[in-house]
Amino acid sequence: MKKKILSLGFTGLITLFVGCSGDDAPSPAAPPIAEASSSSIAPVVLSSSSEQPVPPGLSSSSVKRDTVIKIITVPSDSQIDYPYKADKEVFCWTDDCEKTIQPPSSSSKATATSSSNGGGITIDAPENKPPVVNGMTLTDTRDNNAYQLIQIGSKLWMAQDLNYAGATSECYNEQESNCATNGRLYTFNSAQKACPSGWRLPTRDEAQEALSNESMPWSYSGRCKDGDCNFMGDMGFHWTSGTPESGDKKFDENGGTSGALIIVEKSPEYVKDKEGEDRLFFQVDQKAKRFSIRCVQE
């Protein structure tokens, strides 16, 4: 009799164990995910709800709840609020699974788009596409503004002031109509990053060639400092990448080599009655002021 009771008790325990293992209730620590082969693991973004959806093309019976594989590709500079974050560009919940996916290029900015691959995320938006040069016209692909070009020495120059709405730039007197006709005004630090890809601020030697070339069409777009704008129509000021030298105007007044080198252009009408006044020259000025930009092809 004792043997029968023990046998029945053991059989009951086995039955109870098998019944529990068949329970398909998901573990709170492991949200369900579509099973993927090791040769092709598609990125999947999980829903934030407690009931996880089954990706398109898969039946509920094919969803495993005891294996969790999740891959999300996120560029390090992304501003998108993904459900999961990490310090590296590719991360997942299983060891070494990042080796199966190619991380996005570091030159890309994140843009989330719909994917036909079961709710994945595609990231592909170049941060700074090169401009299109057609003859003597440049089209800035960042905003589709077009500029006339001019050849000065061995370099192509913009023959118009840049009108790219980058950080720390403004329109003269905060009027958009002035930006449309005369471009924007930039601080020195903002000017370093404002030119399109493959273009930059001119060096001292390149700027000197432009000052010596009578065919360069200068624009007298004025300047701004601390909200005060002046000289529109009379004078123009353009940043360069050159190093200030002691012979430049206002070298001592504006900080010497701690200042920045600019080109100053005075209109012929402005200097007509000012005998002996220079019309085109280098000057040292303060980096916080807002001046114009002429970009040069690298």
At 31-84, the pLDDT tens digits run: 444 443 444 444 444 434 444 454 555 444 444 444 444 444 445 444 444 444
pLDDT at 94: 55
**Residue 289: pLDDT over 70:** yes
DSSP states along 148-168: EEEEETTEEEESS------TT
- Burial-class residue 65 by CB neighbours within 10 Å (0-12, 13-18, 19+): middle
At 275-287, the pLDDT tens digits run: 889 999 999 999 9
Nearest Cα to Cα of residue 183 among 155, 213, 145, 151: 145
Write the CB contacts of 159 (distance below 8 Å, at least 6 apart in sequence): 147, 148, 149, 150, 216, 217
At 246-274, the pLDDT tens digits run: 999 999 999 999 999 999 999 999 999 88
CA torsion through residues 13, 19, 22, 26, sign:
negative
d(CA 205, CA 261): 12
Tokens of 230: 């002046």
**Residue 10: pLDDT over 90:** no
Residue 131, SS3?
Answer: coil
d(CA 224, CA 49): 52
d(CA 282, CA 263): 5
**pLDDT mean over 79-94:** 46
Write the CB contacts of 247 (distance below 8 Å, at least 6 apart in sequence): none
Of residues 8 and 96, which shows the higher confidence score?
96
pLDDT at 99: 53
pLDDT at 273: 86
Nearest Cα to Cα of residue 254 among 228, 218, 226, 286: 286
Please name the residue ranges forming H helices in 133-250: 176-182, 188-191, 204-212
Residue 102, SS3?
Answer: coil
pLDDT at 264: 98
CA distances from 74 to 39, 85, 273 (A): 21, 8, 62
pLDDT at 112: 36
pLDDT at 116: 37
**Type of residue numbered 18:** V
d(CA 231, CA 219): 11
At 195-226, the pLDDT tens digits run: 999 999 999 999 999 999 999 999 999 999 98
Which residues pair with residue 113 across a beta bridge?
122
Write the CB contacts of 184 (distance below 8 Å, at least 6 apart in sequence): 161, 162, 163, 164, 165, 166, 169, 170, 171, 292, 293
d(CA 104, CA 124): 8
Cα maximum dimension of the chain: 128
Per the CB < 8 A criterion, the answer to whether 83 and 110 are in contact is: no
At 112-138, the pLDDT tens digits run: 333 333 444 433 344 568 999 999 999
